[in-house]
Amino acid sequence: MVVVACVLAFSPLSSAFGFWAEFFDGSASGNAVYEDMVIRPEAIYDAETGKTIVVYQGFGMHPCIAAYDQATGIWEGPFQVGTNPLNEDAHGGPSLIIDSAGYIHVFYGAHLGSMLQARSTRPHDISAWDDLGPITAEWASGETTVSGAIPATYPQPFLGLDNRIRLFYRSSENDATNGNWYSVVSTDGVGVWESREAALKGTRGLEGWYANFAQGADGDIHTGFLSLAFTDSQTDYFLRTNVYYMRRDVVSGTWFNAIGESVPSTMTKGTLDVACRVYDSGSQFVNQVVIRDSADGPCILFVCGTDDPTPAYTWKFMRWSAVENTWTTPVDIVETDHFFDAGTFQVLPDGTVEAFLTTGGYPDENATLAETFIAARGGDIVRFTSANGGASFKRRETLKASPGPWARYNDPQIVDGYDGGPRVFFSEWNNDFTNYVHKVYLWGRNGFAQREFTPVGVRLAGNARVGTAVEVSKEAYPSGSNAVVIASRDNFPDALCGAPLAHALRAPVLLTSPRSLEASVTEEIRRLWGSKRTYGTMKAVVLGGEGAVSASTYRQLESLLGRANVKRLGGSSRYETSVKIQQELALVRGTPKTVVVASGMNFPDALAMSPIAARKNMPILLTDTATLTTATADALASIGASSTIIVGGYGAVSEAVEESVAALVPDARPLRLQGTDRWETARVVADYALANGFSLERFVVCTGMDYPDALTGGVLASRFNAALLLTEPWQLSPDTAAILSRRPSTLKWYVIGGDAAVARSVANEIISYLAK
């Protein structure tokens, strides 16, 4: 039996005061809710208890479940249902069904592998779970039929009129590019599933299908699906075309097309193009096909368009016309900007069609060059309705709007069995699935199903600065990482500019002795890599020359990760090193719009700027106080940025340097972020970050008297979109107190380092501000 509460936060620094939020979980995966097209349902109304039950990928990518009581407005959970073996692959998202005895079944954790199942220990109770292991059935392995765990992806379960669960899934039994769909049935989910049937078949390795299934009131199963050209789609995810329709008769088990003809058993694309295609997309692409039945016949929603020459997609709706015995011409609902913007809909009892669509939004500011094609995925969640059977739609309201390039939303799912309460379930979206700071929402006509949260404080401290960096790494990358940045524990200049590069690589910064790689660092590298080995090699980037990190330490890294996977970024001076880091950053993130210039003679200003510089792709270049160093001047002249930010007052970066910077980047005068001392400068920088997408939902507190904690804490802050606040070790600096006096709605906050770095009395002062 599994009885695990999903960990939202933990802390000895917590206090009993709270705030109400629109979301009910703020520590979920960046792909918490999946696309309705292939994994559903993820939200069900349980009429027996009056609760809306939702499942999603929570912390650690594990399947989590929560329930909202419509009468009391109280949330239960979230609870962890099981352990997802896919710690980076979002395709293992969960779906759920309630069987005839009231037991809740959750299916999860499969992408080309075994699909896992858990069942509630008691009917209608989400608090305890029995692990039923992989779903087993008879299935084909090459030319042989075997009995065992089914290789599957995309669970879509239904409770039939015979009170048996029928589970549809996409199979991978022949090879990694097989897009066949099957179904199996079970009464209680225990033991071997039975009656395996083919739903869709393609030509092995050449063609397959993405399918959405829906059950009608008469028990028939309807499916809307699209075609996938496997050979080309291995390098182009957009090669999905056409819309098709079939119906499985509940009595005979036979699949029919819309006009009642039985579907040929071969089910090749050529055959289905003739028998079942209801929309020919031509040279355009199709995605997010969702089907629902209605009293007047089946309806299909989908997005269609092209990326050539620029992304242009349109949400479309079509339905079967029994009067004309044909499908209606697709109606345009709204334009959107990405192929993977998801949507869902339902036909209400009065015939109103209600659609919830992702549209618009801002491209992800954290996207690497390799992720440019998915940077615009997600946006606003908008409700549309049609009162004339889908002939036209009206835009009603925006449930949640993308506020800027730091946040977007996606994957709305209808609550099955909707009964006037919460209606749609969706989550904050991020292409970085293993960054567990994302929010999950449940919305109804009365607004969001809100939840109360209590701010949680966590001190991350280890054995001296090296151990603290390891603890920060564990918090920032609990599921591991494919990269790590190594910096000196004893010398700040070379490490000062490393945060933007670390953030771009989705890597922690680990500190080490100049002479050798410390044992705790080696252990942490192994932990980071251990969960990622199936996704390729791990890389290490060493900041600074051999004076900062010795040749022997470098050789240790080569021995650990392989010679080809270790790279040193070091120049003859701290200034040249900052340029080399900028050049490496450009290879990952591209040409920056803005460059930060900071003093290379001291650390506070550059470190205060590091989180927002990291998220906004702003390289940090160092300079001498009096004159702009040659290496930095040459870099500014060649980077191609259109603006600059100088951090620190004229005592840190002189007016002469400012004029030199202005001459090299003439499009705009440098913006100077400065205060009378390091504490005020840090506040000014924090205010700048807060005005540009950062928030105090999470924040990081570090000493401003030394660099190591702020270096690693800045990387944590950038990953969590959290403000970095500097303080004196023995008292909360007045400038930091001024920020906290705004009474932020904080989920979690961090103190980096032990009591000597930030005293307990300072943590208590922070608590007192959050309690006001």
Residue 253 has pLDDT above 60, yes or no: yes
Contacts of residue 473, defined as CB under 8 A and 6 or more positions apart, other chains included, come to 508, 509, 510, 524, 528, 712
pLDDT tens-digit map of 32-71 = 999 999 999 999 999 999 999 999 999 999 999 999 999 9
For residues 221 and 158, the answer to whether their CB atoms sit within 8 Å is yes
Instruction: Work out the pLDDT band at 146, boundaries 50, 70, 90.
Output: confident
Distance from the Cα of residue 309 to its chain's centroid? 28
pLDDT tens-digit map of 565-581 = 999 999 999 999 999 99
CA dist 339 and 285 (Å) reads 8
Domains of the chain: 4-453 (2.130.10.10), 456-770 (no CATH)
> Shortest CA distance to 359 belongs to which of 297, 278, 426?
426
CA dist 739 and 178 (Å) reads 55
- Give the other-Cβ count within 10 Å of 416's Cβ: 20
Instruction: Work out the pLDDT band at 15, boundaries 50, 70, 90.
Output: low
Helix or strand holding residue 232 (H, E): helix 230-233
CA dist 97 and 40 (Å) reads 9
Average pLDDT taken over every residue of the chain: 93
Look at 531-545, 603-617, 675-689 and tell me which has the smallest mean pLDDT: 531-545
Percent of the chain with pLDDT over 70: 95
- For the residues of 515-579, what is the DSSP string, one character each? SS--HHHHHHHHHHHHTTGGG---EEEEES-TTTS-HHHHHHHHHHH-GGGEEEE--SSHHHHHH
pLDDT tens-digit map of 5-14 = 443 333 455 5
Higher pLDDT, 305 or 112: 305
Provide mean pLDDT across the span 315-340: 96
Percent of the chain with pLDDT over 90: 83
Pairing of β 51-57 and β 43-46: antiparallel
Long-range contacts of range 260-269, CB-CB < 8 Å, 24 or more positions apart? 266/201, 267/198, 267/200, 267/201, 267/202, 268/201, 268/202, 268/203, 268/207, 269/202, 269/203, 269/207, 269/227
For residues 150 and 136, the answer to whether their CB atoms sit within 8 Å is yes
Instruction: Work out the pLDDT band at 171, boundaries 50, 70, 90.
Output: confident
For residues 36 and 67, the answer to whether their CB atoms sit within 8 Å is no
Query: Which residues are registered as beta bridge partners of 173?
Result: none
Contacts of residue 535, defined as CB under 8 A and 6 or more positions apart, other chains included, come to 88, 482
pLDDT at 420: 84
pTM listed for this prediction? 0.95
Residue 712 has pLDDT above 60, yes or no: yes
pLDDT at 9: 33
Contacts of residue 350, defined as CB under 8 A and 6 or more positions apart, other chains included, come to none
Provide mean pLDDT across the span 636-665: 96
Torsion of CA 542, 547, 552, 557, to 10 degrees: -10
CA dist 403 and 298 (Å) reads 36
Greatest C-alpha distance within the chain: 86
pLDDT at 552: 96
- Give the other-Cβ count within 10 Å of 229's Cβ: 16
CA dist 60 and 76 (Å) reads 20
Provide mean pLDDT across the span 307-321: 94
pLDDT at 4: 40
Residue 619 tokens, joined: 């390289």
- Give the other-Cβ count within 10 Å of 755's Cβ: 14
pLDDT tens-digit map of 392-437 = 999 999 999 999 999 999 999 999 998 788 999 999 998 888 899 9
For residues 307 and 318, the answer to whether their CB atoms sit within 8 Å is no
pLDDT at 235: 62
Burial of residue 98 (CB within 10 Å: 0-12, 13-18, 19+) is buried
CA dist 735 and 682 (Å) reads 8
Residue 303 has pLDDT above 50, yes or no: yes
Q: CA–CA distance from 39 to each of 51, 90, 174, 213, 762 (Å)?
A: 21, 11, 21, 10, 47
Provide mean pLDDT across the span 256-268: 93
Q: Scan for tokens 């709605």, then name that residue.
A: 745
Q: CA–CA distance from 345 to each of 23, 290, 398, 492 (Å)?
A: 21, 8, 15, 55
pLDDT at 203: 74
Residue 320 has pLDDT above 90, yes or no: yes
Look at 18-22, 127-131, 353-357 and tell me which has the smallest mean pLDDT: 18-22
> Shortest CA distance to 648 belongs to which of 693, 598, 601?
598
Residue 209 has pLDDT above 70, yes or no: yes
pLDDT at 6: 40
Query: Which residues are registered as beta bridge partners of 138?
Result: 147
> Shortest CA distance to 209 belongs to which of 165, 125, 271?
271
Residue 43 tokens, joined: 């939200």
Residue 341 has pLDDT above 50, yes or no: yes
Q: Scan for tokens 């989920």, then name that residue.
A: 747
Residue 78 tokens, joined: 């979230």
